[in-house]
Amino acid sequence: MSPTPATMHIGEFAERTGMSLRTIRHYDDVGLVTASFRTEGGFRLYTEADFERMILIRRMKPLGFSLEEMAELLAIIDEHAAAQDSPADDPRLTEFIREATERREKLRTQLAMADEFVELLERQAR
């Protein structure tokens, strides 16, 4: 019998990921991050692999990726993990990288504009 990996209940998982319980449950319901185990009482138990998956999702959120896009990227990653190969040459992953880079640049521009706005307000307040 193989040992069970270390697990955490949803509260600890939420605290570690910085995500709300509601969001975690929603992601579980839609299949983005499902609990690796359940207790006899039905409580969700998450592993370190689940944590890493949730962190990837959390990093996609500010870039405005939809749940469908997140699911697509996770499927690509899962597909390559199952095949034990590198996704480096996968054109689908290349497209996600291009899209993420483009979205990051848009955020960078918006942040610069927000900084200029704050500076303008601060000058007005002097």
Domains of the chain: 8-125 (1.10.1660.10)
| Rounded average pLDDT over 65-86 | 94
Global confidence as pTM: 0.85
Question: 10 with 24: CB under 8 angstroms?
Answer: yes
Residues recorded for the chain: 126
Question: What tens digit of pLDDT does each residue of 84-100 get?
Answer: 898 888 999 999 999 99
C-alpha distances out from residue 16 to 3, 54, 102, 108, Å = 23, 10, 29, 27
Return the pLDDT at 86. 84
Q: Would you list the DSSP string of 22-57?
A: HHHHHHHHHTSS--SEE-TT--EEE-HHHHHHHHHH
Return the pLDDT at 28. 94
Question: Token pair 């200029």 is at which residue?
Answer: 116
